[in-house]
């Protein structure tokens, strides 16, 4: 059975201007709530993540902290391997002890390879064992086109990701571990009498930006994952393989400006709130509420909200018993001919079978019931 909740004049085919030209090997602009890709190029192509890898390393550490397996005030004995790590460093000394909290700041703010290895060894004993944990989390989070060989992002032929996977990881960091995410907005960190500036220039250039991470190697180019919030809309921009520090910042600003200027994100329906009511036959009650298990957000061109059309398709004859959460239909949200969201409609409550008499009465009614 189909039900049209809203229907307006069809939207103008020209919904928004084309995205700006972005000088990067690959990029994506993703809305945090709706997960809609507003702009993209080579979003699913394998590329080197460089120090963006440390976003996953920090995610794993945050997960271990939340689980109580490690603690922020744990003192980590710094190994010679961690001390000798090349590239960007926190400048920890072999044989010294540094707290997990400070090492996490060293990873996120200073992008220290030494800090990343020290944390990996503290969590899992060895960096190699930690990398196994990284890849397990990557698969759990849906980073289906990524594989990691180390905790730092140093080049390796089997160490790769995609712009889309990096955006997915950024969403998980913001959503799952808000305490550690707040560190990504910190502009500088001093350790061992050395003050180091956060390499994310957007923290100085755009007040709406509150994270995340930069990366660079000769082979990967200059990379940046950034998130910004404006007018209750949060966007995640990923650019991989740009030509310089300035280029990665400017190309990211172009993406964020495009998204905020020409698009908006709205919550259409709340989780577990009734959207429609259907008849349930042979049950202890006659009606059953259907809704969604998660909030439904849509990202659409600005000014087009009133042109959205929502179509509900429910099963024609629903028989008791019904289980809470049971799929009994689908919802499609369209703008013109374009589908913006598709979700399952589920039962918001359980309905037990009625009495024998209830069943017999409904059996008779069904004989004369016409299917719409």
Q: Which residues are catalytic?
A: 51, 54, 111
- Residue 274: closest CA among 258, 294, 289, 288: 289
Q: Quick one: tokens of 198?
A: 């956060």
CA–CA dist 16, 319 (Å, integer): 45
| Dihedral sign for Cα atoms in the order 190, 196, 200, 204 | positive
- Residue 47: closest CA among 252, 237, 215: 215
DSSP states of 194-245: EEEE-S-THHHH-TTEEEEEEEEETTTEEEEEEEEEETTEEEEEEEEEESSH
Residue with tokens 């190029």: 41
**Maximum CA pair distance of the chain?**
84
Cβ pair 265, 298 in contact under 8 A:
yes
- Residue 115: closest CA among 140, 96, 136, 89: 89
What backbone phi and psi angles, to 5 degrees, belong to 201? -65, -20
CA–CA dist 40, 158 (Å, integer): 24
Cβ pair 288, 280 in contact under 8 A:
yes
């Amino acid at each position: 059975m189909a039900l049209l909740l809203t229907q307006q004049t069809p939207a103008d085919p020209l919904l928004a201007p084309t995205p700006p030209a972005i000088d990067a090997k690959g990029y994506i602009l993703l809305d945090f709530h709706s997960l809609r890709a507003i702009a993209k190029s080579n979003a699913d192509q394998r590329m080197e993540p460089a120090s963006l890898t440390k976003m996953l390393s920090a995610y794993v550490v945050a997960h271990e902290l939340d689980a109580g397996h490690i603690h922020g005030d744990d003192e980590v004995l710094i190994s010679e391997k961690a001390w000798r790590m090349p590239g960007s460093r926190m400048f920890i000394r072999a044989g010294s002890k540094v707290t997990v909290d400070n090492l996490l700041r060293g990873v996120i703010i200073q992008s220290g390879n030494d800090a990343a290895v020290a944390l990996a060894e503290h969590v899992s004993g060895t960096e190699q064992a930690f990398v196994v944990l990284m890849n397990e989390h990557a698969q759990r989070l849906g980073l289906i086109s990524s594989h990691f060989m180390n905790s730092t992002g140093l080049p390796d032929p089997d160490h790769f990701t995609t712009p889309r996977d990096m955006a997915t990881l950024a969403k998980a960091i913001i959503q799952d571990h808000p305490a550690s995410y707040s560190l990504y907005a910190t502009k500088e960190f001093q350790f061992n009498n050395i003050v180091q500036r956060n390499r994310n220039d957007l923290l100085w250039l755009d007040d709406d930006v509150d994270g995340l991470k930069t990366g660079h190697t000769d082979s990967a180019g200059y990379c940046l994952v950034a998130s910004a919030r404006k007018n209750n809309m949060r966007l995640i921009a990923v650019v991989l393989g740009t030509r310089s520090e300035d280029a990665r910042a400017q190309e990211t600003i172009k993406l964020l400006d495009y998204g905020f200027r020409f698009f908006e994100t709205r919550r259409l329906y709340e989780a577990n709130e009734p959207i429609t009511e259907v008849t349930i036959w042979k049950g202890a009650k006659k009606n059953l509420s259907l809704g969604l298990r998660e909030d439904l957000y849509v990202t659409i061109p600005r000014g087009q909200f009133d042109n959205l059309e929502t179509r509900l398709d429910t099963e024609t004859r629903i028989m008791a018993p019904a289980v809470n959460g049971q799929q009994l239909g689908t919802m499609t949200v369209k703008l013109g001919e374009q589908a913006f969201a598709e979700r399952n409609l589920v039962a918001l409550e359980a309905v037990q079978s009625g009495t024998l008499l209830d069943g017999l009465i409904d059996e008779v009614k069904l004989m004369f019931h016409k299917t719409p």
